[in-house]
Structure 1
């Protein structure tokens, strides 16, 4: 059975919401004969380690090395772009040549979120004007690796999205369907 690493800001959501979302993701993957590997599955004793951050990194890296593919929640998190840790995980898996798929519940293109569509931001720096879901390296990297970046219908708000708004079961199902074709 192929295993899929679940990347996203979901690990930061309140426990009850996170557990509900994760259970839904695991059930959908199981419907397709795929096993979920989640950072939340790591059983770490962070209170008795000298470097808790490093312990989490190592445990997640071990899971990614075990996984056959990845699905990333790239919904903007704490800003105009996806969670930085999720972006790292996506790059890590892509560099290994593993199939990846991603989704965002946000319909507003990256350049609109950053600068309202202007060619530069308020600091005068260039903004990618391609109308993609996020930075071109994410969108194009996912597609170059045989995956897809699926976007939802929520319009961007500067205050961001609630945990509930950051997950859409139908978008996740589409990502799973695309990824399952690799196995």
Structure 2
């Protein structure tokens, strides 16, 4: 175990093809190391899921152990499988904020959440209201991070009609900005 502060890397990358996931994890960990942080990825868990009675619970428990060990969190909140961030990543962000751990989010997308849901509409196709605030994602993410001293850093990519391809989820300079915010938040 390192004496460096450690950063849990939340995001949907665990669902990406292995080669790409390994590349992104490695790139993030290299940047974190430059700033004096140790990166902790859910993919670091060596789990024997073949023999597990409940593989989902084993994954959850291992990820929670990593989050408990981590000093801080950086969450990839790029829209995943729809107009909002990955649900598991959102949970992890809330968990870390509730534990009082410094947290920063980033999204490669520059299109506000409400525009991703229904371009100019105030309600969606089912008649449900759409948050009109022009934030990066749901107000609970943007405002939650801000209330706890963090931020949600946005990139420059437009939101594609088909959603982001796995290879478009990482932007090294954007991630560096997120790490700089985290470093300043931690003093």
Residues 91-149 of structure 1: CA distance to partner in whole angstroms, max 9, x if unpaired? Answer: 00000111100110111100001111311111111000000000000000111111110
Pairing 1:10-89 to 2, within 5 Å after superposition:
10-89=13-92
Is this contact kept in 2: 1:29–1:35, CA < 8 A?
yes
Q: Which residue of 1 aligns with 2:138?
A: 135
Secondary structure at the counterpart of residue 48 of structure 1:
coil
Distance of 2:22 and 2:52 partners within structure 1: 25
Q: Flag structure 1 segments of 5+ consecutive residues without an equivalent.
A: none
Secondary structure at the counterpart of residue 50 of structure 2:
helix
Q: Does 1:110 align with 2:116?
A: no
Q: Does 1:157 align with 2:160?
A: yes
The alignment of Structure 1 onto Structure 2 pairs a total of residues equal to 183
Q: Which residue of 2 aligns with 1:98?
A: 101
So what's the TM-score if we normalise by structure 2? 0.96
So what's the TM-score if we normalise by structure 1? 0.98
Is this contact kept in 2: 1:117–1:129, CA < 8 A?
no
Instruction: Please report how far the alpha carbon of residue 33 of structure 1 lies from its aligned counterpart in structure 2 after TM superposition.
Output: 0.7
* Cα RMSD for the two superposed structures: 0.8
Secondary structure at the counterpart of residue 17 of structure 1:
helix
Instruction: Please report how far the alpha carbon of residue 158 of structure 1 lies from its aligned counterpart in structure 2 after TM superposition.
Output: 2.6
Give the alignment partner of residue 149 of structure 2, picking from 135, 140, 146: 146
Distance of 2:82 and 2:182 partners within structure 1: 27
Secondary structure at the counterpart of residue 167 of structure 1:
coil
